[in-house]
Amino acid sequence: GDKVVFPNGGIDPWKSLGVPVGNPEKNIDAFIIEGAAHCSDMYPASANDKTSLTMARARILKNLDAWIQDALKPTGDATGLGLLSTCVFVLLSCLYF
């Protein structure tokens, strides 16, 4: 696939099973969030968050914004709509769950 973000918590016991390296050609971004636990990036932001976690959330949103903008470009076909609806679903899932 393409257009995927794999954030891995630096102190997440599952990080060794995660994707350690991204692939820019396919818009796959994989990175370690220093000092973060499993799924830390999915919890609501807090004033107590580490800088690395705040930066990771910004990086994730930057990727999503770029992909949504790319999907909104006129292409003459409807393939971008699938990506757009997927991105909207993911964003809503992050906000409500």
Number of domain units in the chain: 1
Range of the domain at 33: 4-96
pTM, entire model: 0.75
Share of the chain residues as helix, strand and coil, in percent rounded to the nearest 5: 50, 15, 35
Distance CA 41, CA 5 (A): 11
Distance CA 33, CA 12 (A): 9
Task: Encode pLDDT of 45-96 as tens digits.
Answer: 999 999 999 999 999 999 999 999 988 888 766 555 566 667 666 766 666 5
CA 49 to chain centre: 17
The pLDDT value recorded for residue 74 is 81
